[in-house]
Each structure stands twice: as structure tokens, then as C-alpha cells.
């Protein structure tokens, strides 16, 4: 079955295409929701255990980064997702392999898919998971761990997966992929039949035969077999001089070698598909309507490239805290320390609006004082969602890209905002070193970069990006000796990434990856030395310090702080804070220290024991969240869940009191009896 993402790149064609999210089958995902979304989906396909294997590609916004390499591959891509292609004019129709194995992509970057991604334990993107046909129990699938993520390698892994599928439970539509013997082929020579038989002769390690077999699944009047090159005498007898070669037995008994321009899968497949009487079967494969797809209306927001937009930074933080971290059910050990250090750096240096800084400060203080060595992610989410209703805390709960908006939904966005956040942090650390006082990072010029490095390596959904960044850090991070050098180090590395990615598909044509800042943004940064363009690093540093400073922050388009619906938790203090919205000042330690720890009772009690927490956990599910948040009681911010809990506690305590009352009454009566009748 299939999964794909809104505006997300998925396979078919030899470029990535956009597709929409489909829910996963089985387990927690209900057939009903599938059927509702895709009315053309046959019922069988919406039930768990249907007769096809599945490949699920979990992706995120960052997947487009990988897509560029995939797209550059000359080989035809997997044909299995064309039913989900939403780009106008893109190829549609029944995918050739879909009867045996279907491919789907799920965008874990989409908030609506988070629950699924968490259920399937997806941490990095892209993740490939295989699901066997007829699987009835819920399973998180088999992880694909190939040598690389090249499209061809993944396709071959799919073939291995199909071939190794337990006999008996193999997808019925999947033809035999094991090789036939030369004897079987010789026996067919000269025989009349009702259909063509194509025989692919190939080497042991070749996948061409199996690919052609799968390509021809939906075609009738032809059967494709493969034979390995073991028997030289047979090859000679049939005139097979090179491998791979295709030998064709016609229905009328004639036979001979097929001549194609290149011995490639696509050439063999298209030759066989175009034979007279070879037609596509009229199979009713689960097709999906594309009509509803890609209805996303992208509203372009005009912006000034010389400005830094609060909306980008806040959207990035929202995504980081509520989407990226959500891939980790719980945090412990090195992961927890990485998060703690990263949040400390962000909380102390983030120059944005006060309610956001207060939220970060609260989170930082809570993480710092937490006596636990493992915390459930939901506890972090509770805090970010301000479940405790602390006044004046706010973080937008949706993304709104401005300086990071892409010309297509799958471009730019989160990775762009992350870069901007990182640059902002290095600049703030350089301009306001006092902000890190008391954190243990004071005086360390590499503090921000090391925190960023560990965050990227541990949590950034794009694993490959994390590896690249780590390589750069290993190579030269130890040369950073001052906070200014840290600013320049990140700038240089970012430009190195830009030049590596220039021209790839992940590049937004509207925002080409060129050395930055461009001459129009900073003329003084550029100079010519002996006719060659070079950087004036002193000017670059000054430019970066201005560009990523709080005074260059532009609040236009940022989420309305006055809109309580945004968090459902904006307290009264916020109104006061709103009046102070001047964008600036990194938060000093004393300011953060004045904040109350958010969780009242000890964190341990709250995290693991309290019934409220258990209710809150339930409230994490979208439905639960709606239930829990949609019904504030008496305007006091109590949800209906809170109220039910109160009623239960009230009844329980009344019963307890009544019991105690009767107990003491009976006892006092006995005492009285003893007192009045001492001889008894």
C-alpha cells in the first residue's frame, strides 16, 4: 500500500514527483480512513493483510535533498507510485510492479503524519520499510539497509525482498523470480502456444531478468523467464553471444534472439510490451484519484532578503520542538544531554519575541533542573504546548515561512530556518557573550557550534546532512578560537554546502545556491584580488553581525501573540509582554533564573506518576488533543478531562470519608459499651 506526502518528492519517472499523504494500512491505521480518502481503493486493499508487499519511504522536508541525486539517475525509476503523482501532466496509470509490491512515501514533516511516524519509530529520513504481503499483525516493517540509497539499489532490494518472501505467502500476482533451467527452455523450442515466452539470459549477479519479469506483470499474452549463463552449450546453440540477452519464443513456434539497441532493462521491457497481441491486462489495481491532490494554495509573501524574519525563526523552533523531536519517544543519556545543551544555547541567545524567549527559558530551566535521566518526549511537548498555562509563554503551532518560503512547498522551509537560527546563535554569542554566563558555556568560543553540531548529528532528520556537517566539524572546528571565528566558520561551511548543492534538484530556482552574501546584499564583502573575486572577511563578519542581529529581526508575518487560539495557552501576562515586543536583547541568566520551574511538583512525580500527566499523554493524540483542549471550563482553562478527573476524585474522597466516619462510629460505640460495662 502506499503513502506519500503533500508536495513531497516520491519516485515514479526518473525524477521525483509530488504526491500526497495516504494513511498506512493495518495496526493503528484504519481501513475506513483509507477508503474515505481514496474511494477508488478496493476494499481488499484497505484491509490488513492484503496480497501485496509494500515499501514505505518515510521522508521529511529534507528528503528533497536526497532526491536530487536520485533524480540524476538515468535509469527508469520504480513505476509503482504513478497513481499518486499529482504534478499536472505527470505520468499516470497502473504501476507495473504494483500488483506485487507497492511503493508509498509518507512525509514525516507533515504534522498530521507525526503520529504514524512515531508509531513506526522513524528517526531519520528517508527511511525505507518493507511490509510483507498478508501480514495481519501490526508490524513496523523491515528496515532497508542497503549500501546506499540510489534508486537502483533500492529497486534491487525490493526484488530481493520479493524473492525471499516466504513461499506460500508470496503475493499471488508476483511471478516466479527464480531462474529456469536451460533444459526447460530447450523443451519449449518449436512448440506452439497461446502466448509469447521471453527468456532473459543473464549473469548470476544481474537483476535485469527479474526487473523485466516485474515490468511485464500487467501484460497478457507473454510470460518472461530468466536463465543463468551456466550452460555454455545451450547459449551457443541459441546464438547468445553476450549477456544479458533476450530470446523470444513466438506463439506460432518460431523463435530467435531479440535485437535491442542497448542490453538494458528498459529496452527489453519496452520491446516486449510492444509485441503484437501483448496487451495490458484490465486489472483493478488500487488506483487513487488525483483530483483532490495538490490543492495546497501557496500564498506568496513578499519579503526583503536583507531582513531576518521572526516568522522563519519561530516556525523553525516550532518544527524542531514539535515535529523533529517528536520522532524520539523518549530522551535519555547522550541524546538528552544534547537536547539540554542545545536548548540552553538557544534559550540564552535567541533574540526573538519575549513570550518565545520565556518559553525557551522555561524549557531550559526545566531540562537543567530535571533529576531524571530519561524523559518521555511528551513531557517536552506538554511544556512547549504550555499545558501548565504559565502566563506569557508562546510558540506558534504552525509553520509560516517568509524568508524561507520556497517556490514549491517541498523546497526550502525548515532546513533554511535551521541555518538562520544557527547563524543567529553564533552572532548573538559573539555580540552578547555575557548571555551564556552561568551555563557552563561561558568563555567557550566553540560552545554554540558544538551544541549545533551535536544537535544536527543526533536529531536533524536529514541523516546525510548530519554526516556532512560532522565531517566539516571534524575537519576544522578545532581552529575556532574566538566567538567571531565561530561566526565566520559557520558562514564558510554554509557556503561550502551551498556550492556542493548548487544545481541539484533540492535547489529552489528562485533562490539559487550562490556564495552568500551576494554583492547586492553586501558590496563591501566582495573585492577583486588579481582579477579574481574574493571575500573581504572583515566586512563579511560585520555584515553577518548586522544581518543576524536582533535589530534586523522583522516581526512582519509572525504569528499573532494576541491570538490565544494559537497555543490555547496564552496567559494574561502575555498582553503585557506584547506591549514590550521590541525585538532585541538576548536573555540574561538572571532573567531566566527568575522564571518558576514550570511543573509545580517534582518533575518525577509529574512525569511518571500523576494522573494528570497520563491524561495529558492521551491528549497528545490529535483527537485527544482536540478533546482536551476544545472545551475550556468556566473560562478557567480546565478541560472536560480535568473536570471528569475532579468528579472522580471528589466521589472517591467522599466515599473514603464516609467509610472513615462509619469505622470510627462503630469503634466509639464499642468503647462506650466497654466503659459503661467494665466487668463485661
Ligand X SMILES: Cc1cc2nc3c(=O)[nH]c(=O)nc-3n(C[C@H](O)[C@H](O)[C@H](O)COP(=O)(O)OP(=O)(O)OC[C@H]3O[C@@H](n4cnc5c(N)ncnc54)[C@H](O)[C@@H]3O)c2cc1C
User: Could you list the residues that contact ligand X (CB under 6 A)?
Assistant: 65, 404, 412, 415-416, 418-420, 423, 456, 464-465, 468-469, 491, 494-495, 497-498, 501, 506, 508, 511, 516
**Distance between CA atoms of 200 and 220, rounded to whole angstroms?**
18
Nearer to ligand X, 244 or 352 (CB): 352
Instruction: Report which of 226, 221, 220 is spatially closest to residue 268, judged by C-alpha positions.
Output: 226
DSSP-based three-state secondary structure for 61: coil
Who contacts 174 (Cβ-Cβ below 8 Å, separation ≥6)?
53, 99, 100, 101, 162, 165, 214, 217
**Distance between CA atoms of 327 and 122, rounded to whole angstroms?**
6
**Distance between CA atoms of 615 and 677, rounded to whole angstroms?**
55
Instruction: Report which of 129, 74, 120, 126 is spatially closest to residue 101, judged by C-alpha positions.
Output: 129
- Burial level of 651, CB count in 10 A (0-12/13-18/19+)? exposed
**Distance between CA atoms of 354 and 360, rounded to whole angstroms?**
10
Which cell numbers hold the place of 242?
Answer: 553476450
**Distance between CA atoms of 8 and 60, rounded to whole angstroms?**
8
- For residue 201, how far is the Cα from the chain centroid? 41
DSSP-based three-state secondary structure for 129: strand
Q: What is the DSSP letter of 7?
A: T
Secondary structure element (H or E) that encloses residue 78, with its range = none
CB contact burial 12-21 (16+ within 10 A = b; e otherwise): bbebbbbbbb
Which cell numbers hold the place of 338?
Answer: 544534547
Number of neighbouring beta carbons within 10 Å of residue 136: 9
Who contacts 489 (Cβ-Cβ below 8 Å, separation ≥6)?
449, 476, 477, 479, 480
E-strand stretches of 441-591: 526-529, 532-535, 553-554
Who contacts 552 (Cβ-Cβ below 8 Å, separation ≥6)?
306, 307, 308, 546
Pairing label, strands 245-249, 196-202? antiparallel
**Distance between CA atoms of 462 and 416, rounded to whole angstroms?**
13
Packing angle between helix 208-215 and helix 151-163, nearest 10 degrees? 80
Pairing label, strands 8-10, 17-19? antiparallel
Which cell numbers hold the place of 224?
Answer: 518472461
**Distance between CA atoms of 76 and 369, rounded to whole angstroms?**
55
Who contacts 96 (Cβ-Cβ below 8 Å, separation ≥6)?
79, 80, 214, 215, 216, 217, 218
Instruction: Report which of 355, 307, 302 is spatially closest to residue 548, judged by C-alpha positions.
Output: 307
Nearer to ligand X, 434 or 475 (CB): 475
**Distance between CA atoms of 457 and 473, rounded to whole angstroms?**
11
Nearer to ligand X, 390 or 456 (CB): 456
Task: Judge contact between 363 and 317, C-beta under 8 A.
Answer: no
> Measuring CA to CA, how many Å separate 595 from each of 391, 393, 574, 591?
11, 11, 14, 7
Amino acid at each position: 500500500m502506499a503513502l506519500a506526502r503533500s508536495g513531497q518528492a516520491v519516485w515514479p519517472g526518473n525524477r521525483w514527483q509530488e504526491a500526497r499523504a495516504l494513511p498506512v494500512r493495518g495496526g493503528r491505521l484504519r481501513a475506513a480512513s483509507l477508503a474515505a480518502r481514496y474511494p477508488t481503493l478496493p476494499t481488499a486493499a484497505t484491509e490488513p493483510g492484503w496480497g501485496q508487499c509494500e515499501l514505505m519511504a518515510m521522508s521529511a522536508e529534507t528528503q528533497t535533498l536526497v532526491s536530487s541525486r536520485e533524480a540524476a539517475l538515468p535509469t527508469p525509476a520504480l513505476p509503482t507510485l504513478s497513481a499518486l503523482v499529482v504534478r499536472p501532466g505527470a505520468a499516470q496509470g497502473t504501476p507495473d510492479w504494483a500488483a506485487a509490491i507497492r511503493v508509498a512515501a509518507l512525509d514525516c514533516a507533515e504534522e498530521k503524519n507525526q503520529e504514524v511516524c512515531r508509531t513506526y519509530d522513524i528517526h531519520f529520513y528517508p527511511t525505507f520499510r518493507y511490509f510483507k504481503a498478508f501480514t495481519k499483525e501490526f508490524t513496523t516493517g523491515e528496515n532497508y539497509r542497503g549500501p546506499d540509497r540510489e534508486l537502483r539499489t533500492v529497486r534491487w532490494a525490493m526484488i530481493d525482498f520479493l524473492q525471499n518472501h516466504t513461499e506460500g505467502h508470496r503475493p499471488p500476482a508476483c511471478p516466479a523470480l527464480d531462474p529456469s533451467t536451460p533444459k526447460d527452455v530447450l523443451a519449449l523450442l518449436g512448440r506452439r502456444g497461446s502466448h509469447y515466452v521471453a527468456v532473459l539470459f543473464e549473469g548470476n549477479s544481474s537483476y535485469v531478468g527479474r526487473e523485466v519479469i516485474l515490468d511485464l506483470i500487467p501484460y497478457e499474452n507473454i510470460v518472461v523467464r530468466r536463465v543463468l549463463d551456466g550452460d555454455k552449450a545451450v547459449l551457443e546453440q541459441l546464438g547468445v553471444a553476450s549477456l544479458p540477452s533476450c530470446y523470444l519464443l513466438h506463439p506460432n513456434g518460431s523463435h530467435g534472439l531479440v535485437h535491442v539497441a542497448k542490453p538494458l532493462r528498459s529496452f527489453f521491457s519496452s520491446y516486449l510490451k510492444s509485441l503484437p497481441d501483448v496487451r495490458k491486462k484490465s486489472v483493478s489495481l488500487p488506483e487513487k484519484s488525483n483530483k483532490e491532490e495538490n490543492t495546497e494554495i501557496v500564498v506568496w509573501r513578499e519579503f526583503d532578503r536583507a531582513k531576518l524574519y521572526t516568522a522563519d525563526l519561530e516556525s523553525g523552533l516550532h518544527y524542531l520542538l514539535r515535529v523533529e523531536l517528536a520522532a524520539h519517544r523518549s530522551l535519555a543519556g547522550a541524546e538528552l544531554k544534547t537536547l539540554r545543551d542545545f536548548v540552553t544555547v538557544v534559550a540564552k541567545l535567541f533574540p526573538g519575541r519575549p513570550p518565545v524567549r520565556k518559553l525557551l527559558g522555561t524549557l531550559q530551566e526545566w531540562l537543567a533542573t530535571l533529576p531524571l535521566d530519561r524523559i518521555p518526549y511528551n513531557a517536552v511537548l506538554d511544556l512547549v504546548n504550555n499545558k501548565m498555562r504559565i502566563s506569557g509563554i508562546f510558540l506558534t503551532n504552525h509553520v509560516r515561512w517568509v524568508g524561507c518560503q520556497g517556490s514549491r512547498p517541498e523546497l526550502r522551509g525548515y532546513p533554511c530556518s535551521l541555518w538562520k537560527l544557527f547563524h543567529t546563535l553564533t552572532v548573538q554569542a559573539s555580540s552578547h557573550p555575557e548571555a551564556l554566563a552561568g551555563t557552563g558555556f561561558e568563555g567557550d568560543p566553540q560552545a554554540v557550534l558544538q551544541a549545533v553540531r551535536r544537535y544536527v548529528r543526533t536529531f536533524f532528520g536529514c541523516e546525510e546532512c548530519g554526516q556532512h556537517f560532522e565531517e566539516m566539524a571534524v575537519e576544522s572546528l578545532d581552529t575556532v578560537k574566538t566567538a567571531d571565528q565561530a561566526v565566520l566558520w559557520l558562514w564558510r561551511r554554509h557556503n561550502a554546502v551551498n556550492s556542493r548543492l548548487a544545481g541539484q534538484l533540492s535547489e529552489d530556482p528562485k533562490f539559487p545556491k550562490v556564495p552568500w552574501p551576494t554583492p547586492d546584499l553586501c558590496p563591501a564583502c566582495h573585492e577583486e584580488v588579481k582579477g579574481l573575486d574574493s571575500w573581504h572577511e572583515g566586512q563579511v563578519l560585520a555584515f553577518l553581525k548586522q544581518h543576524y542581529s536582533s535589530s534586523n529581526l522583522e516581526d512582519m508575518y509572525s504569528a499573532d501573540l494576541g491570538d490565544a487560539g494559537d497555543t490555547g495557552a496564552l496567559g494574561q501576562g502575555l498582553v503585557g509582554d506584547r506591549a514590550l515586543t521590541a525585538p532585541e536583547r538576548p536573555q540574561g541568566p538572571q532573567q531566566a533564573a527568575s522564571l518558576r520551574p514550570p511543573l509545580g511538583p517534582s518533575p518525577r512525580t509529574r512525569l511518571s506518576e500523576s494522573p494528570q500527566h497520563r491524561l495529558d499523554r492521551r491528549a497528545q493524540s490529535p483527537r485527544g488533543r482536540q478533546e482536551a483542549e476544545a472545551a475550556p471550563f468556566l473560562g478557567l482553562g480546565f478541560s472536560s478531562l480535568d473536570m471528569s478527573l475532579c468528579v472522580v476524585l471528589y466521589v472517591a474522597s467522599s466515599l473514603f470519608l464516609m467509610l472513615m466516619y462509619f469505622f470510627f462510629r462503630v469503634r466509639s460505640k464499642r468503647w462506650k459499651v466497654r466503659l459503661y460495662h467494665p466487668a463485661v
